[in-house]
Amino acid sequence: MLGDVGEARGEVWAKALRGTALASLAANVGIVVTGGAVRLTGSGLGCPTWPKCTAESLVATREMGINGAIEFGNRLLTFVVAILAILGFLLARQAAKRIRATGGDAEQARSMVRWSFWTALSIPAQAAWGGLTVLTDLNPWVVGLHFMVSIGIIWAAFGFWRSTEDDPSAAARRGPAVARELRWLAGLILTAAVCVLVIGTMVTGSGPHAGDQGAARNGLDPAQISQVHADLVFLLFGLTAAAWLALRAVRATEAAAATLVLLGVLAGQGVIGFVQYFTHLQPVLVGVHMFGASLVWIATLRLWWAVLPTRVPRVMPQQSAGRSLEDNLTVANPAGARERS
């Protein structure tokens, strides 16, 4: 009886932890999309100062209209992201204690706490950088770096989520270990993806959607920087296609599947990019393209995680190396175990 209760609690803890980690990842993608909506609706200075909305008011007022409401709404979403990040960190710490108490995978416990900590720590940095974009009157270079800060937080949130999904018993489903040269290729794909995102912010900074009529542009030629961006996307697609063929050849099942997903996302993102360019950057398409950029980044991270060497679980000698997270979170109860037997 007591053992059954312990198993049920372990499953509840695991579901809560995984759900919070996934919600944190989704919320950070959401704030990228809503941040794009702020810029695309010309609401970047809807709240003209920071951290208050105006010099006299902490919140948007009726006189500020729809632009003030949109900008302030995006600021409020930051609190949701922060709450999820803090909750994830607290759950990860508690889960780590339970894992250690049961002699479970010590490295997974540390990984969850580490990734959740970096996710939570990054939120204030994102908020402060968002404030800097307002205080610099939407300087395009500052706005671009604000997007890249969000990309860094998505990396941390993805790592947190993957650490909660880390099941050593599933290692066999990954196929053979990926050779070092293929990991280098995955590293090139990761680097190319970062370059695509960075140049993408420069394209945005040269275009018409400044976030406010009075905001400056970065001075780059939109056609030329867009061509550089497109060339990098073609490079990323080519590297990914080569990786897919190579990973299929060595029967690296999980990594090949992740590469195929990345190819699909890149193809969809490329179509949207060309359509938005030739339709003169319609705001809705630009917003969808920003969402697609987040998906490209997540798909790239999934590929990178899939080619990493299989981790050997660090558990107590008497414990099984193939325990799931639910097993690790189950409080040991020898008496309950004897009762079930």
- Region of 42 (left: φ > 0; alpha: ψ -120 to 50; beta: rest) is left
Read off the pLDDT of residues 1-48 as tens digits, 9 standing for 90 and up.
Answer: 333 434 556 677 788 899 999 999 999 999 999 988 888 888 888 888
Amino acid at 293: A
Of 112, 159, 106, which is closest to residue 313 (Cα–Cα)? Answer: 106
Q: Tell me the range of 39-43, 99-103, 311-315 where mean pLDDT is highest.
A: 39-43
pLDDT reported for residue 339 = 38
pLDDT of residue 4: 43
Q: Which helix (H) or strand (E) holds 172?
A: none
Residue with tokens 């196929």, as numbered in its chain: 175
The confidence score (pLDDT) of residue 333 equals 43
Specify the pLDDT at position 324.
Answer: 64
The amino acid sitting at 138 is: L
Long-range interactions of 103-107: CB distance < 8 A, separation 24+ = 103/315, 103/316, 103/318, 103/319, 103/332, 104/315, 104/316, 104/319, 104/323, 104/327, 104/328, 104/329, 105/166, 105/168, 105/313, 105/314, 105/315, 105/323, 105/328, 106/314, 106/315, 107/311, 107/313, 107/314
Among 27, 151, 167, CA closest to 88: 27
Q: How confident is residue 332, by pLDDT bands cut at 50, 70 and 90?
A: very low
109 pLDDT more than 90: no
Per-residue pLDDT of 134-158, as tens digits, reads 899 889 999 999 999 999 999 999 9
Give per-residue pLDDT as tens, 200-245: 999 988 888 777 777 888 889 988 999 999 999 999 999 999 999 9
Query: Which residue did the predictor score with more confidence, 340 or 200?
Result: 200
- pLDDT value of position 11: 76
Dump pLDDT digits (tens) for 252-290.
Answer: 888 999 999 999 999 999 899 888 888 887 888 888 999
Mean pLDDT across 323-338 = 53
Decide if pLDDT at 56 tops 80.
yes
Query: Which residue type is seen at 238?
Result: G
How much is the pTM? 0.87
- The predicted pLDDT at position 93 comes to 92
pLDDT-derived band at 292, boundaries 50, 70, 90:
very high
Mean pLDDT of all residues in the chain?
84
